Structure 1
Amino acid sequence: MAIRPSARWRALVDEQAAELAAGARTPSDAFLSELFPESLLAATDGALHAFESEAGRLRDRDDEQVFEAVRRVVLALNEINEDHDGAGYETEEREELCLYIDQALTEYGIDVTALASRRGISRTEITDDWRDW
């Protein structure tokens, strides 16, 4: 399964905290816990977990059901981002989240290129109708 971006972000926060504790990093250079607060990590992880559970049941479903699952996860991520003053997800995080959604669908047997094509969009646009972040 694709690694959730929130898991990668948590690992980076933990690595930086260990470097700080070991004296290998100065406090003024330790910023990841502010960039990725626990509330953001936990909420993002929960939203992506719910999406994975739903995506696992989407094989052989019609396009609208797949897009409805994408809509739900994107709206959940919108809310999480808003709960973090609209700054929860910056450019790199946005790209990671979109890629993760694509990879998760692919791993569960959805042909994302064909899905997007049937809607007249590219695979990189499957979140665009709902995404605020």
Structure 2
Amino acid sequence: MDNGLASLQHKKNSKLKMWPDTIVQKFSAVNLKGAYFTLFASSSDSVHHGAEDVYNRTIVEQLDKKEKDKAIKYMMAENASFAIYLAVCSIEYSAEVFREFCHKLKEEKYLDALSRIQEKLYALHMAHENHHVDLFK
């Protein structure tokens, strides 16, 4: 218990900057505020979209067969596209974190390979960002 109290006292007296309280501040602290809005907030919101999915599905059920099938197809495509986007972005950020660890640990031998992986991930990310399909043709 004494070690824990000493640790708390050390933190209290420390000149170290404390980690921000809110999630958006944490992203901002590492210069990733944009990622907060595109990744964290949107994926966090998607967890709570169960009610919206139920609502959309209820509305879709009222459509005639042809329109209903098309609407379900579009909803599934949107969900799959978002899942791919989140996966690519997550792997991108994981590669960046791993690259930073290697740099800090002076494991330079991995940096070139990680840079090549990051370039490929970025290309995949941009391909997804720039791929637009007009579903209402």
TM-score, normalised relative to structure 1: 0.37
Rg (Cα) greater in structure: 2
TM-score, normalised relative to structure 2: 0.36
Between 1 and 2, higher relative CO (CA 8 Å, sep ≥ 6) is seen in 1
Select the structure that is richer in helix: 2
